Amino acid sequence: MAGNISAAMHVLLLPELLEQILIDFFYILWPGRPSTRPSLALLHLRSVSATWRSMIDTSPTLQSLTFRNRQLYNPNGGERYDTNGCFLYWLIANLETSVLRESADLAARTRRQNFENFANRAWNNGSSEFPWMYITKPAVTEVSLYFGVAAYHSRLPGQWMEYKSSSSVGSCAKWKGNRLSLHSATGITTDLILEKIVETLRALYELPGPGSFFICEISMKFGVEEREELDGYDDGVLMRRQSELGDEVCALEYVLF
């Protein structure tokens, strides 16, 4: 028995065999559905040992499967990119669980606490529960986040405009209307997306007075060129259900109080 265990451990320490086992593990979890989150499962296996961590971090194939390949997308090269469905499903699932579920029946303080619970997982003091990945592969350098806000408080529209005009978001982000354009010369990561979503939603929570609420619709587009918005909203088709997530657009709709 001990000999069998020793032989198994020996196999797992051989780099070429370990790499193939990890690749097979990914595809076992990938029956065409990103909801199984195979990329995230692979990254969690980095904690097994230093050998596994090194393999997952350095293997070009595993880097690609976990959206950590540093190749940049070339919009003029005729190639396509793959959207990180693992991240989008994680984001939707965590927002729905913490922020949206039965939100209309919860007290305002409870709804705010639920949001803060999500924020602590998504982006807290420069770190996230979700390990960093690129939002696409090859990595796009431009992503636009659209925040469509319908106010049910007389002061919110003016406060929202004031926040966007005065918000100091740095060289990587710029507000134009309800669009927050993100840029990174090294590729847009999930960390940057989570940071800006949490930062913006927290600002919205703090703008209206007690007892007020608003509806916020968030959509995300990749590699979008600068163009005018129609009435402050994106004119593209917005996908609203997890099963309908496309390569180009992710949209979420929330009632936030």
DSSP the chain: -HHHHHHHHHHHHSHHHHHHHHHHHHHHS-SS-GGG-HHHHHHHGGGS-HHHHHHHHH-HHHHHHTT---PBP-TTTT---EE-HHHHHHHHHHHIIIIITTGGGS-HHHHHHHHHHHHHHH-BTTB-SSPP-BSEESBPSEEEEEEEEEESSTTHHHHHHHHHHH----TTEEEETTEEEEE-TT--BHHHHHHHHHHHHHHHHHSSPTT--EEEEEEEEESPPP---BTTB--SPPP-SGGG--SSEEEEEEEE-
Q: What is the pLDDT along the chain (257 residues), one digit of tens a residue?
A: 445 556 666 666 778 889 999 999 888 887 655 556 888 889 999 998 899 999 999 999 999 999 999 899 887 777 788 888 888 888 877 876 666 554 555 566 677 777 888 889 898 888 898 999 999 999 989 888 888 777 666 677 778 888 888 876 667 888 888 888 899 999 999 999 999 988 888 887 777 654 555 667 777 877 544 443 433 433 333 333 222 333 344 455 444 44
pTM, full prediction: 0.78
pLDDT of residue 6: 67
pLDDT of residue 169: 60
- For the chain, the structural domain boundaries read 2-65, 82-256
pLDDT of residue 220: 80
pLDDT of residue 193: 92
pLDDT of residue 208: 61
pLDDT of residue 206: 78
pLDDT of residue 100: 56
